Amino acid sequence: MEIVYKNKVEINSEMDIVEVRKIVREKATDIGFGVTDITRIVTAASELARNIYRFAGSGVMYYETVHNGDKRGIQLIFVDEGPGIENVDVAFEEGYTTAGGLGLGLPGTKRLMDEMELETETDRGTTVRVTKWLI
């Protein structure tokens, strides 16, 4: 499905992580998510944005409302041109740790959202797409 993502946040510094949280909170609230779900979505976004900052230095988060039939939800796409993830299977194992604890937080982040897709290529970058549907 071709969607042009116009809504984005550049991630270049630690302050941008705050911006990501703010924008995602606004968007999730607009869509109609409840308090606990908003907390989950914003936390997941904070984790993924932080990954970009820590491992790639810079990147972008795109955000969009998505529809599936009469369901609607929030979709966030984190793109960076960093080092990529060496071993994706290991990264998704519980307790995977690099750079001082809690590593990429991928298994946990996945649990907070409904769907997660990941594409990565060594030295080329990583794209993580997460979606949560409003029930």
Partner 1 sequence: MTKQELTKELEANRKEIEGLKKELTAFKEEKQVFKNVNDQLSAIFDGFNEVVYVSDPDTYNVLYVNKPVEDIFGDVVGKICYEVFQGLDKPCSFCTNDKIFGENTGEAYVWEFQNPVSKHWYRCIDKAISWTSGKHVRLEIAIDVNDIKKYEQELEQQTKTIMELSTPVIQVWEGVVVAPLIGTLDSGRTQQFMERLLDVIVKTKSPMALVDITGVPTIDTQTAQHIIESITATRLLGTQVVLTGVSPSIAQILVHLGIDLSEIETKSSLAAGFQVALNSLGMKVVNTAKGANNER
Partner 2 sequence: MNGEQLSVIKVRNVLMVTVPGDPDDDTISYLQQKILESMEYYEPKGVILDISTVQIIDSYFARTIVETAHMVRLMGGETVIAGMQGSVAITATQLGLTLGNLKTALDVDRALDMLEEIQV
Q: What residues line the site for partner 2 (CB under 8 A)?
A: 14-15, 17-18, 21-22, 35-36, 38-40, 42-44, 46-47, 50, 94, 100-102, 105, 107-109, 111-112
Q: How far is the CB of 130 from partner 1 (least distance, A)?
A: 17
User: Of these partners, partner 2, partner 1, none, which one is at the site of residue 70 (CB under 5 to 8 Å by kind)?
Assistant: partner 1
Check binding of 135 to partner 1 (CB under 8 A). Answer: yes
Amino acid present at 134: L
Burial 40-66 (b: 16+ CB within 10 A, else e): bbbbbbbbbbbbbbebbeebbbbbbee
Whether residue 8 contacts residue 61, with contact meaning beta carbons closer than 8 Å, is answered with: yes
Check binding of 36 to partner 1 (CB under 8 A). Answer: yes
Single out the residue of 6, 70, 97, 123 in contact with partner 1 (rule: CB under 8 A). Answer: 70
Radius of gyration of the chain (CA): 14
Check binding of 4 to partner 1 (CB under 8 A). Answer: no
Q: What are phi and psi of 76, to 5 degrees?
A: -125, 135
Check binding of 95 to partner 1 (CB under 8 A). Answer: no
Give the whole-angstrom CA distance, residue 67 versus residue 124. Answer: 30
Single out the residue of 15, 69, 97, 101 in contact with partner 1 (rule: CB under 8 A). Answer: 69
Q: How far is the CB of 70 from partner 1 (least distance, A)?
A: 4
Give the whole-angstrom CA distance, residue 112 versus residue 81. Answer: 25
Interface with partner 1 by CB under 8 A: which residues? 1-2, 36, 67, 69-70, 135
